[in-house]
Chains A and B, each alone.
Chain A
Amino acid sequence: MMRACKNYLTFLWRCTRIAFVGDWRYYAWLGLLSLFCLVGLNAYAKQIVHGLVVTGMSDQVSWGVYIANFTFLVGVAAAAVMLVIPVYIYGNEELHDLVIFGELLAVAAIIMCLAFVMVDLGRPDRFWHLIPGIGQFNFPGSMLSWDVIVLNGYLLMNVHICGYLLYCRYDGRRPAKWFYIPFVFLAIVWAVSIHTVTAFLYVGLGGRPFWNSAIVGPRFLASAFTAGPALIILAMQVVRWITADSPGGGVAPPPSGTPAPEAGARRPATLEDLELLASHLPQFASVPAEIRQSILMDAVVLDVAPGDALLRQGEAGNEVFFVLEGRVVVKREEKGRFRITRSVGPGEQFGETSALTKTPRAATAIAEEPACLLRLPADSLSKLMQIPQMNKIITWRMTERLMITDRALMILRSIVQVSMLINVFLLVNEIFKEFYSPTAHVASSQYLYFGLHGYHALVPWIWVAIAFNLVAMFLLVLPLSRSLKYLNVACVLAIVGIWIEKGMGLVVPGFIPTPLGEIVEYSPSLNETLVCLGIWAFGILCYTVLLRMAIPILQGTLSKATEGHGDFYHRSTETPTLGIPDVKTAHSR
């Protein structure tokens, strides 16, 4: 128990420390975000002193961009977790690593949501009145109290799932299913609920016909499942781009002129080598003596120096490697750039995918320290795989990989595609209902789309949003967007379009005209805008830091095995070249 606690604290401590470590680009980025945060904080301090007059809100339009951003971000948070469905329900391996990034995005989005609600309060000092048990909680009467519960519950759930999975990865053990799978499924249902509850916040107001319509809920969901995964598509490419050419584990990149894979000292393996493996890989102990004997026949032990390439992406090959000592880094080339997909330590294997599936090597493996490896041919691996314990550990390790493949992005694209179609379809429904039989309640829609009695502040915005959404929709359904360039354009358009449509386009027209028919327009003030920018910067800062912690853990460079290893590296001194020039030629050959 004590040891587990200590281990966990070390984990937290190392995660915290690594958040402060990076190259100059990382510091510059953090600095920039912090600057925006401080500007936002300054604007908020002014708002605290003078009250909400410093915003553009009034008694007539009593909610503005704060609540608009809140609404949009609830959607992002809800949708991020929707990636979980393909992975856990349909067992789609391509999205496996994206799940953690998606959930971390959800965490950052909820933090922003809570901040937006907080700055919207006239009396933030009385925040505790909202805490169930201590204050007065109007549950289940008020939808806002539902929102407090579902948002905080969702935050906790995601923190738990991500935290637990990352900790297990750090610790090098297999996550206990009962400890997180129930929460994963709960989170899926919950994700729908945070959205529905937020929609009901508006739908429940009978005095506001613009909101009081059953279609608002479904539209919320559709637009959320468009904007959320679209945001993840972009975020994942950023992650991919950042993790590209990052050298791993405190070791300088290998010198150029790497020797051929056959280089390094080799000798036949002995039973002692297998014992050594078993000491790092307890599951190996279950391998009976006769199988050990039989796999010894073709087993080879390699002693390699840092920088030696052991296998190369694109090559044929059917051997599997187990690390006995030292570390090996596995990199994958995508569009001329290398990304570390993981760092492999003693007791772990690489190359098993090709060995099992007879496909070409998916990545290149290079020793990052002097290393000692056990190499087995494919049929020896098959023998090992017949032992249940070995099978389990090897398959599990096969799936736990930081691979953001283009295929994974394409799966996300199809989610965005379908949601966007539904989103536009629901929009058409709503427009038809409002304008074909224009009841007295059409005034808000009239104001939004065409302007009312000479007031038309929102008209250009909403048409831009609609245009963006339509262009995005066409791009998404056309095969064109299978190319990432067009997909990215479509995602940006969809996100901006939905931000306008669902943020400002939903919140503000609900107040115009007022229930007594008065028209007072709203536009955010400078101070209000700065507060919003501050919160966005803070959210992005949170996400950056979370990624900074998660990526090395997923790559295997930050793990229990590397404890006290000098696990921090400054990238500033390193050149971005990888120094394995022959890989590309080998690949193109």
Chain B
Amino acid sequence: MSDIHKPCACSPDKGVSRRSFLRTSTVLASGVAALAASLAPLRELTDYTSIEQFMQKYYKEMTPQEMEKVLERITREVEQHYKIRPHVKDYKPMDGVEFVYCLNLTRCIGCRKCVHACVAENNQSQNPEIQYIRVLKLPHGSLDMEKGDHNYAPSSVPEKGFFYMPVQCQQCKNPPCVKVCPVKATWQESDGITVVDYDWCIGCRYCEAACPYFARRFNFTKPSIPKERLNPNMSYLGNRPRKQGVMEKCHFCIQRTRAGKYPACLEVCPTGARKFGNILDPESEVSYILRTKRVFIQLKEELGTSPRFFYYFDV
């Protein structure tokens, strides 16, 4: 670089050359200083990507040993940050299981208890607020979501003339979000749950644009969870704390459902509107509902996404 003064070196006058050398150095020095000044905000960076994290392999290519190491790293990080030692596990899908969700729209009263149970179970950021479930208030007689009210006041529920429709990830059989991801950071597991690898996502938000159900949430900044509200029972593809700049979404409470429990939103529901289970088991409640109910609705059926989330009415 110090050679850019060369153009003038053709001049036989040494003095000129020295002067121009000085000038070039001044220009260079002030350039470097300006560059440093413009990069100054980086000093506030607290959450560096460690080499270990930078080099981490793709989920599906990791050996069990490598996964162990990653889980250890996550445990360490959570402990450092929240002063709580979590149990981080990589729950795998079970054979012969395909989860579906059924939701009884006649029963739902729009209390939004599921929304908050979900936030607590899945370590969602509280500031800024991230929620996987949206409850829409709709006038009787219409399923036109454009008429839906997203911000109704919950103290007054249920209101006359309205019904309530909670919407979360529909765990599509044919998920557009998976198709568009350029780096395969999101995929459908064998039990039908579409997951995101928070350590692989590059944060392009293409999946968010592709999802027809507004089910994906992006960490626009560092998520914050109060220490006392951290759920220490964590899974790699599920509710472990996320980082800034990655995508997340409902995963049917992987850390619960893959361990044989119901999702948090179901357990908390005061009216029993929510039903969850294995569709491959003919004895399960969801199989019974889908067999016997005459009408059930898959949202935006015409898009061909084939949701694993069914809405029905008591008739």
**A positions within 8 Å CB-CB of B:** 17, 20-21, 34, 38-39, 41-42, 45-46, 48-53, 55, 57-60, 62-63, 117, 120-127, 129-130, 135-138, 141-145, 148, 201, 204-208, 440, 443, 510-511, 513-518, 566, 568
Contact = CB atoms under 8 A, between A and B. Distances in A.
Given A63-B209, A136-B200, A51 B300 contact: no
Given A39-B38, A125-B49, A205 B210 contact: yes
A206 B212 contact: yes
Contact of B213 (A42, A51, A59, A515): A515
Interface bracket on B = 35 or more
Given A45-B39, A123-B201, A206-B176, A52 B182 contact: no
A392 B255 CA distance: 76
A517 B147 contact: yes
Interface in B26-59: 31, 34-35, 37-42, 44-45, 49, 54, 58
Given A129-B183, A518-B214, A49 B300 contact: no
A51 B220 contact: yes
A38 B213 contact: no
B150 A137 contact: no
B180 interface: yes
Interface of B: 3-4, 6-8, 10, 31, 34-35, 37-42, 44-45, 49, 54, 58, 128, 134, 136, 144-148, 150, 167, 176, 179-185, 200-206, 208-214, 216-222, 243-247, 300, 303-305
A59 B38 contact: no
A566 B10 contact: yes
B203 A45 contact: no
B208 to A, nearest CB: 5
A142 B179 contact: yes
Nearest to A518: B150
B182 A59 contact: no
A566 B10 CA distance: 6
Given A55-B220, A142-B181, 18 more contacts: A39-B38, A41-B39, A45-B39, A49-B45, A62-B209, A120-B205, A121-B245, A122-B220, A122-B245, A123-B201, A126-B183, A130-B183, A142-B180, A144-B206, A205-B176, A207-B300, A513-B146, A515-B213
B44 A123 contact: no
Contacts of B221: 50-53
A50 B304 CA distance: 38
Contacts of A440: 144, 146
Most buried by B among A21, A135, A566: A135
A275 to B, nearest CB: 32
B202 A42 contact: no
Contact of B220 (A52, A206, A514): A52
A17 B183 contact: no
A528 to B, nearest CB: 12
A123 B146 contact: no
A68 to B, nearest CB: 13
B15 to A, nearest CB: 17
A141 B147 CA distance: 34
Contact of A62 (B134, B218, B245): B218
B210 A207 contact: yes
Contact of A51 (B58, B134, B144, B245): B245
A49 B48 CA distance: 10
A440 B143 CA distance: 12
16 contacts: A17-B3, A45-B42, A50-B221, A51-B245, A53-B221, A59-B217, A59-B220, A123-B202, A126-B183, A129-B202, A141-B179, A144-B180, A515-B300, A517-B136, A517-B145, A517-B147
Contacts of B184: 136-138
Contact of B182 (A60, A142, A443): A142
Nearest to A201: B206
A82 B186 CA distance: 38
A510 B179 CA distance: 19
A120 B204 contact: yes
Contacts of A20: 4, 7
